Structure 1
Amino acid sequence: MTVHSRLFLLLLLLSGCYYDVEEELYPSLECQVENVTYTGTILPLIRDNCYTCHDKTSNFGNVTLEGYDNLKIYVDNGRLLGAIKHEPGFSPMPQNRAPLLECEIQKIEEWIRQGAPDN
Structure 2
Amino acid sequence: MDKILLLVFVGMVIGCYYDVEEDFQVNQECNVDNISYASDVLEIVSSRCYKCHAAALNLGNVTLEGYDKIKIYVNNGKLLGAVKRESGFSPMPQNESMLPSCDILTIESWVNAGAPNN
Counterpart secondary structure, 1:42 = helix
The equivalent residue for 1:8 is: none
Distance 1:103 1:42 in 2: 11
Superposed displacement of residue 97, structure 1: 1.6
Distance 1:33 1:93 in 2: 21
The equivalent residue for 1:5 is: none
Distance 1:98 1:44 in 2: 18
RMSD: 1.0
Distance 2:92 2:108 in 1: 15
The equivalent residue for 1:102 is: 101
How many positions carry a matched residue from both structures?
92
The equivalent residue for 1:50 is: 49
Counterpart secondary structure, 1:33 = coil
The equivalent residue for 1:60 is: 59
The equivalent residue for 1:117 is: 116
Q: Larger Rg: 1 or 2?
A: 1
The equivalent residue for 1:7 is: none
Counterpart secondary structure, 1:72 = helix
Q: Report the residue type matching 2:45 in the other structure.
A: I
Distance 1:85 1:114 in 2: 17
Superposed displacement of residue 47, structure 1: 0.3
Distance 1:29 1:89 in 2: 30
* Matches for 1:26-105 after TM superposition, within 5 Å: 29-105=28-104
Distance 1:46 1:98 in 2: 15
- Deviation by residue 1:8-54 (Cα, 9 ceiling, x = unmatched): xxxxxxxxxxxxxxxxxxxx633110121000000010000000000
Q: Report the residue type matching 1:99 in the other structure.
A: M
Point out where structure 1 has 5 or more consecutive residues left out of the alignment. 1-27
Distance 2:97 2:47 in 1: 12
After TM superposition, the score normalised by the length of structure 2 is: 0.75
After TM superposition, the score normalised by the length of structure 1 is: 0.75
